Amino acid sequence: MDDNHVTHPLARLPRTRLDIEHRFGVRVRGFLSVKTPDQLRSRFPEIPPTDSGAAAGRTAGETPDGRRARAAAEPFTVSGWSREPEARFFTLPSPLDPDDFNIAFIKELPLECLEGAATRRGGALTCHTTPDDVINELFAAAHNGGVNGRGQSGAYARLHAWNSLYALMGLPDDIPFPEAARRATDHRWLRFMAFTDWFHHDTSDAAFAVLDPTRTRVAVLAATDTDADTHTDSSTDVH
């Protein structure tokens, strides 16, 4: 092979849509951006907080990884969402009880998006979700674009969504897509919502957390979008 040959980035994508991608580009009437706790609860089962979840959250140690964070944030950064997403990764000293993977646990993590959560109206909550929901949201973020950005073509939006999903699960690039989809079902996926100065609750918000099958590694991704003139005063960096 010619040493100068460069494989096109889209070449690694599956030629046909996988089952996990069945919602890509499908608009369901009434299923717009989730902006209120009632909307979130109406679509996904809520997970109640636990004291043991909070205790477990206090034992989590952050494991920074800039490359992985940039990949996780791709759907939002390439399409011009108004605020730089927050992507963070944590390790636990012992396996987390799945019932303790809830908002009490999440709120104990040192997340910028949750600073001041106890002081704003609406509180915070977590709900169960599924890998197909998460990857669809990632695809939609890249494809639709931010209010002051530009959406990506369907093919590139698909690539950015997969890159983000791989990063959230901590998978190497050489794992085949069908295997990645299978592994996604072994992870525990959450949506969460909070009312803090970080989230705009305006145009679009997205916040996910994922627990790996060993129950000792957690990834968090949060993004927010608005066309308000003041959004530039509160931007943050990907961690």
Interval 120-136: pLDDT, tens: 566 799 999 999 999 99
45-227 maps to CATH 1.25.40? no
What pLDDT is stored for residue 231 in this prediction? 44
Candidates 161, 206, 164, 215; CA nearest to 187 is 215
- The domain limits of the chain are 45-227
What pLDDT is stored for residue 211 in this prediction? 98
In this structure, how many other beta carbons lie within 10 angstroms of the beta carbon of residue 189?
A: 22
Structural contact between residues 216 and 91, judged by C-beta atoms closer than 8 angstroms: yes
Longest Cα separation, the chain: 60
Number of alpha carbons in the 13 Å side-chain half-sphere of residue 51: 0
Interval 40-75: pLDDT, tens: 888 899 999 999 999 999 999 999 999 999 999 999
Query: pTM above 0.85?
Result: yes
Alpha helix segments (H runs only) across the chain: 37-43, 51-57, 66-77, 103-107, 131-144, 154-169, 177-184
